[in-house]
């Protein structure tokens, strides 16, 4: 800390919070209420320093650059006691020529981090009035109503969000490197795909080369290990940055496809720069060849909004993605793998990198390319209004250019989007719409604030996209109906965030009648499971209203919103573990029904991304995986709801309509077996329908009159089972209840289990005489992932579940089972 004499060891990449933790100076930030007592950290300035040795040979290079890939955020950088650079943007990559400052022997690099709070307050005062920033948890930071997040180009969620804590970090969050140059260096290559079809791909390789020595150079581009170059050019480079375009083509290109549609082929392009037959620089990149378009065309209902990849219209299935930790240096490659493999395993093909987080690390995009996960990429602006002074706008411009250049070669990026929810929150032009922000300002201030918005999101950012990446579409804000039309729940154009359920306290059934052209957000909260809760709490915290659990719940209505919904639909258990479990299945059922409704409305609706895939700390949130990477019930449900073939039920006033969603690429003749059974499996009625499953469409296969069912049977004692059969093989199956869960007359099931170890897995065989609803399995102290969980076990069916062993012996008694049946029976 500045003013302190003590130096502590630190990590790079890292941040001051994790360094203090490593040095035992602070307690675990996420544990219980510790967040509050750690708010002093961001009010201080911190200095990081190191020495590095260079020998005289290294100093002989013509130019030496210091490459600072990520500094969070306000810094003064000293090299051998000389101020060489000041920075003010976490998202920028700064490069500084340091040749003249370096010496043979020890060199001292010192980076002084100025408190983002001090700087933010200074900027707020200079502006003279505050700007809306609804998720900035200023009170927790001891700043009362003073929202400073908007003044600093730093991850917005560091200042708090409605699912995350306030830890305003400082530190070197990405690596720092020295680059030695003699003649010239390839600074950047953009493989711009100007034409792509089955016959041919035409690629413009656009090079930026930094030449220190002007002269004749040669550029070769190779494919993989092939000896013959696919393009060769001789160039005369001038001193400084040279831009050179080298077009080349590939015959019968193998294309890159999103997950579930095709393979993710990538070409390995190796570019070489040489002078007099000596190779002086090589850059290798894996490039997926695909065309991608955002199709917004007027139609009879409004205007379409969907992605077309390689000429094929893609229904987007996925979720919104936030950073995986408040302390970004803790997100390991394994964690990125885990989260993206979870997305793939859950049949997703798109994630939205939401605008309140970060432009992710390269590894994230690399994995999305590898696994076929398309990305809706926001710029980092969310739920706030931003300043518009020249310095701010120039800073954002450079940030956008840095990140577009870093990311534009990734095949996975489908769209650049200006911000999250600002258009809809401000709602220019109508005093009665929006989030009541405008009312706090004078007409003059309103004009300035909107002008700033307009300049940044409707001029600067689209212009930059046009210059640096015009092969992709730009969309100013999510959600938006059209370029100049605000989104509403009734919009028949653009993308939609539907928050009537949860924020609006509306019933889950409203998911069926609020369907837009592309559902880019909707969600429902739950808490993590008991094993995760135990990691950051003590037993006396295990209560929805405890101080600690409320501190880990950042949405305004607290946990009471979960309880309100639960009381209407489910039994509300006294036992805390059971309460968590019911909360999770309620969330899972809600989002499953929304996903299936969106899919059934294809092609009117062409995408569904629920809020939210992951967490940045342990707590209540809308996530389907918790901070510890444990799958909540929702993740298991999403996997089934996103399966290529999935059954959807839509109850309306009189009927339940049954749809089959198919993303298969051919039609299939199938048999649909509809069976009404009681909970012990007795068949009460049956119908078999021969039909055709239409590829890439949803078809209605049946309509069941619920009134008739209630006349004939006791609706709380029966269920409908649907099996889709193609010949002998079961394509999909699901069940439907004619009553809400809390009314179901499910008896305590006798589940018989058989367990055995097979290699690295525990195999569990389950059977039940009675229908067992939402069978939840867990093993104490073993957090690995079951092959399925929270599933319905049908009477007489055998279900086999596997669990990777956690390096421990698991005995029969260690495996616990909970069902909704038991809870219903306790509450009687």
Of 42, 360, 369, 521, the residue at the interface with ligand BMA (CB under 6 A) is 521
> Dihedral through CA 141, CA 143, CA 145, CA 151, nearest 10?
-90
Interface mask toward ligand BMA for 565-604; x: CB under 6 A: ----------------------------------------
Residue 407, H or E segment: helix 390-407
| Cβ 434 to ligand BMA shortest distance, Å | 13
| Cβ 521 to ligand BMA shortest distance, Å | 5
Residue 209, H or E segment: strand 200-211
Interface mask toward ligand BMA for 479-498; x: CB under 6 A: ------------------x-
Distance separating alpha carbons of residues 657 and 672, to the nearest angstrom: 14
Distance separating alpha carbons of residues 355 and 341, to the nearest angstrom: 22
Residues 658-677 that bind ligand BMA (CB under 6 A): none
* Per-residue CA distances from 128 to 124, 209, 387, 445 (Å): 6, 44, 12, 11
Interface mask toward ligand BMA for 704-743; x: CB under 6 A: ----------------------------------------
| Cβ 316 to ligand BMA shortest distance, Å | 17
The answer to whether the CB of 689 falls within 8 A of the CB of 701 is yes
- Provide the token pair at 410: 């990734």
Residues 258-277 that bind ligand BMA (CB under 6 A): none
Identify whether 788 is preceded by a cis peptide bond (ω within 30 of 0). Answer: no
| Cβ 369 to ligand BMA shortest distance, Å | 25
Distance separating alpha carbons of residues 21 and 30, to the nearest angstrom: 11
Residues 194-223 that bind ligand BMA (CB under 6 A): none
Identify whether 235 is preceded by a cis peptide bond (ω within 30 of 0). Answer: no
Residues 336-365 that bind ligand BMA (CB under 6 A): 356
Q: Count interface residues toward ligand BMA (CB under 6 A).
A: 12
If the CB atoms of residues 450 and 499 are measured against ligand BMA, the closer one turns out to be 499
If the CB atoms of residues 70 and 476 are measured against ligand BMA, the closer one turns out to be 476
If the CB atoms of residues 220 and 521 are measured against ligand BMA, the closer one turns out to be 521
If the CB atoms of residues 521 and 770 are measured against ligand BMA, the closer one turns out to be 521
If the CB atoms of residues 152 and 520 are measured against ligand BMA, the closer one turns out to be 520
Of 267, 576, 611, 790, the residue at the interface with ligand BMA (CB under 6 A) is 611
Interface mask toward ligand BMA for 36-75; x: CB under 6 A: ----------------------------------------
| Cβ 159 to ligand BMA shortest distance, Å | 13
| Cβ 620 to ligand BMA shortest distance, Å | 11
The answer to whether the CB of 742 falls within 8 A of the CB of 570 is yes
If the CB atoms of residues 256 and 498 are measured against ligand BMA, the closer one turns out to be 498
Q: What is the 3-state secondary structure (H, E, C) of 136-151?
A: CCCCCCCCCCCCCHHH
φ/ψ of 550, rounded to 5, equals: -70, -30
DSSP string for 690-744: EEEE-TTSEEEEEEEEHHHHHHHS-GGGEEEEEEEEETTEEEEEEEEESS-GGG-
| Cβ 415 to ligand BMA shortest distance, Å | 16
| Cβ 17 to ligand BMA shortest distance, Å | 22
If the CB atoms of residues 19 and 615 are measured against ligand BMA, the closer one turns out to be 615
| Cβ 826 to ligand BMA shortest distance, Å | 33
Q: Closest Cα partner for 403 from 341, 312, 468?
A: 468
**What residue ranges in 409-478 does DSSP mark as E strands?**
413-420, 473-478
Instruction: For residue 650, give every residue at least 6 positions away whose Cβ sits within 8 Å of its Cβ, in sequence order, or none.
Output: 512, 597, 600, 656, 657, 658, 659
Of 124, 176, 340, 383, the residue at the interface with ligand BMA (CB under 6 A) is 383
Sheet of 200-211, strand order:
184-196, 200-211, 240-251
If the CB atoms of residues 435 and 604 are measured against ligand BMA, the closer one turns out to be 435
Distance separating alpha carbons of residues 149 and 764, to the nearest angstrom: 50
Distance separating alpha carbons of residues 497 and 520, to the nearest angstrom: 6
If the CB atoms of residues 242 and 525 are measured against ligand BMA, the closer one turns out to be 525
If the CB atoms of residues 317 and 561 are measured against ligand BMA, the closer one turns out to be 561
| Cβ 343 to ligand BMA shortest distance, Å | 18
If the CB atoms of residues 271 and 425 are measured against ligand BMA, the closer one turns out to be 425
Instruction: Centre a 10 Å sphere on the Cβ of residue 478 and count the other Cβ atoms it contains.
Output: 30
| Cβ 541 to ligand BMA shortest distance, Å | 24
Burial of 678 (C-beta count, 10 Å sphere; 0-12/13-18/19+):
middle
If the CB atoms of residues 156 and 749 are measured against ligand BMA, the closer one turns out to be 156
| Cβ 383 to ligand BMA shortest distance, Å | 5
If the CB atoms of residues 161 and 736 are measured against ligand BMA, the closer one turns out to be 161
| Cβ 524 to ligand BMA shortest distance, Å | 10
421 lies in the binding site for ligand BMA (CB under 6 A): yes
If the CB atoms of residues 161 and 256 are measured against ligand BMA, the closer one turns out to be 161
Residues 126-165 that bind ligand BMA (CB under 6 A): 161-163
420 lies in the binding site for ligand BMA (CB under 6 A): yes
Q: Closest Cα partner for 374 from 443, 321, 427?
A: 321
| Cβ 631 to ligand BMA shortest distance, Å | 20
518 lies in the binding site for ligand BMA (CB under 6 A): no
Identify whether 13 is preceded by a cis peptide bond (ω within 30 of 0). Answer: yes
DSSP string for 140-180: TTT-TT---GGGSBS-GGGG-BTTB------EE-S-EEEEE
- Provide the token pair at 308: 């077309």
Side-chain half-sphere of 309: how many Cα atoms within 13 Å? 27
378 lies in the binding site for ligand BMA (CB under 6 A): no
Mutual orientation of helices 576-600 and 560-569 as an angle, nearest 10°? Answer: 80
If the CB atoms of residues 217 and 611 are measured against ligand BMA, the closer one turns out to be 611
If the CB atoms of residues 356 and 462 are measured against ligand BMA, the closer one turns out to be 356
Residues 295-324 that bind ligand BMA (CB under 6 A): none
| Cβ 622 to ligand BMA shortest distance, Å | 6
Q: What is the 3-state secondary structure (H, E, C) of 220-246?
A: EEEECCCCCCCEEEEEEECCEEEEEEE
Residues 615-644 that bind ligand BMA (CB under 6 A): 622
If the CB atoms of residues 161 and 649 are measured against ligand BMA, the closer one turns out to be 161
If the CB atoms of residues 79 and 383 are measured against ligand BMA, the closer one turns out to be 383
| Cβ 356 to ligand BMA shortest distance, Å | 6
Distance of CA 181 to the CA centre of its chain: 38
- Scanning the structure block, which residue is given the tokens 């997100």? 331
| Cβ 435 to ligand BMA shortest distance, Å | 10
Q: How many helices (H) and strands (E) does the chain have?
A: 16, 42
| Cβ 132 to ligand BMA shortest distance, Å | 13
The residue ranges that bind ligand BMA (CB under 6 A) are 161-163, 356, 382-383, 420-421, 497, 521, 611, 622
């Amino acid at each position: 800390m500045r003013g302190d004499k003590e130096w502590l060891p630190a990590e790079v990449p890292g941040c001051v919070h994790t360094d203090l933790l490593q040095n035992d100076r602070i307690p675990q930030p996420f544990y219980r209420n510790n967040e509050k007592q750690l708010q002093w950290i961001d009010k201080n300035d911190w200095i990081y320093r190191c020495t590095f040795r260079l020998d005289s040979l290294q100093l002989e290079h013509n130019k030496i650059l210091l490459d600072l890939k990520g500094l969070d955020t306000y810094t003064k950088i000293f090299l051998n006691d000389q101020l060489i650079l000041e920075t003010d943007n976490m998202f920028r990559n700064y490069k500084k020529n340091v040749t003249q400052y370096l010496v043979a022997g020890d060199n001292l690099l010192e980076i002084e981090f100025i408190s983002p709070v001090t700087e933010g307050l200074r900027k707020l005062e200079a502006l003279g009035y505050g700007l809306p920033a609804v998720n900035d948890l200023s009170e927790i930071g001891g700043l009362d109503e003073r929202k400073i997040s908007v003044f600093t180009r730093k991850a917005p969620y560091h200042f708090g969000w409605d699912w995350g804590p306030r830890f305003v970090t400082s530190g070197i969050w990405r690596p720092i490197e020295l680059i030695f140059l003699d003649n010239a260096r390839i600074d950047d290559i953009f493989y711009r795909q100007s034409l792509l079809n089955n016959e041919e791909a035409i690629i413009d390789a656009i090079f930026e080369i930094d030449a220190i020595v002007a002269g004749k150079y040669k550029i070769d581009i190779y494919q993989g290990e092939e000896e013959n170059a696919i393009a060769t050019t001789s160039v005369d480079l001038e001193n400084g940055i040279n831009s050179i375009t080298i077009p080349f083509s590939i015959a019968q290109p193998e294309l890159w496809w999103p997950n579930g549609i095709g393979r993710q082929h990538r070409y390995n392009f190796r570019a070489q720069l040489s002078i007099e037959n000596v190779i002086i620089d090589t850059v290798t990149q894996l490039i997926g060849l695909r065309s991608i378009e955002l199709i917004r065309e007027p139609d009879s209902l409004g205007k379409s909004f969907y992605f077309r990849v390689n000429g094929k219209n893609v229904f987007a299935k996925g979720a919104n993605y936030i950073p995986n930790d408040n302390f970004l240096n803790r997100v390991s490659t394994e964690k990125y793998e885990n989260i993206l493999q979870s997305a793939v395993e859950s049949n997703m093909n798109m994630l939205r990198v939401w605008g309140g987080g970060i432009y992710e690390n390269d590894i994230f995009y690399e994995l999305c390319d590898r696994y076929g996960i398309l990305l809706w990429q926001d710029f980092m602006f969310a739920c706030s209004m931003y300043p518009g002074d020249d310095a701010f706008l120039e800073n954002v411009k450079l940030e956008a250019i840095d990140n577009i250049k870093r990311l534009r070669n990734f095949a996975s990026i489908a769209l650049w989007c200006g911000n999250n929810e600002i258009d809809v929150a401000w709602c220019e032009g109508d005093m009665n719409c929006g989030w009541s922000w405008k009312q706090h300002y004078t007409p003059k201030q309103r004009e300035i604030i909107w002008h700033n918005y307009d300049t940044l999101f409707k001029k600067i950012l689209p212009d930059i996209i046009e210059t640096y990446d015009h092969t992709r579409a730009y969309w100013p804000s999510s959600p938006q109906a059209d370029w100049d039309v605000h989104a509403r729940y009734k919009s028949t154009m653009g993308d939609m965030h539907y928050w009537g359920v949860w924020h609006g306290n509306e019933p889950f059934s409203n998911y069926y009648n609020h369907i837009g052209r592309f559902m880019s957000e909707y969600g429902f909260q739950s808490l993590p499971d008991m094993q995760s809760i135990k990691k950051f709490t003590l037993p006396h915290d295990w209560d929805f209203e405890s101080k600690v659990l409320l501190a880990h719940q950042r949405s305004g209505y607290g946990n009471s919103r979960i309880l309100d919904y639960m009381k209407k639909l489910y039994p509300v258990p006294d036992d805390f573990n059971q309460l968590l479990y019911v909360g999770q299945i309620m969330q899972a059922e809600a989002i499953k029904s929304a996903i299936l409704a969106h899919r059934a409305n294809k092609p009117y609706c062409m995408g569904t991304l629920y809020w939210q895939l992951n967490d940045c700390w342990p707590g209540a949130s809308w996530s389907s995986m918790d901070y510890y990477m444990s799958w909540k019930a929702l993740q298991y449900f999403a996997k089934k709801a996103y399966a290529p073939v999935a059954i959807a039920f839509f109850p309306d006033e009189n009927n339940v309509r049954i749809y089959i969603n198919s993303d298969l690429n051919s039609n299939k003749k199938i048999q649909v077996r509809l069976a009404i059974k009681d909970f012990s499996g007795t068949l009460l009625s049956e119908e078999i329908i021969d039909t055709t499953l239409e590829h890439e469409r949803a078809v209605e296969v049946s309509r069941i009159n619920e009134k008739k069912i209630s006349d004939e049977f006791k609706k709380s004692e029966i269920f409908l089972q649907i099996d889709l059969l193609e010949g002998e093989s079961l394509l999909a199956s699901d069940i439907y209840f004619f009553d809400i869960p809390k009314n179901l007359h499910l008896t305590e099931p006798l589940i018989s289990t058989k367990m055995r170890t097979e290699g690295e897995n525990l195999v569990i065989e389950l059977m039940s005489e009675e229908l067992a609803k939402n069978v939840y399995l867990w093993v104490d102290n073993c957090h690995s992932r079951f092959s399925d969980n929270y599933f319905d076990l049908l009477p007489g069916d055998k279900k086999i579940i596997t669990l990777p062993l956690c390096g421990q012996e698991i005995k029969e008694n260690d495996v616990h089972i909970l069902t909704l049946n038991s809870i219903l029976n306790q509450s009687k």
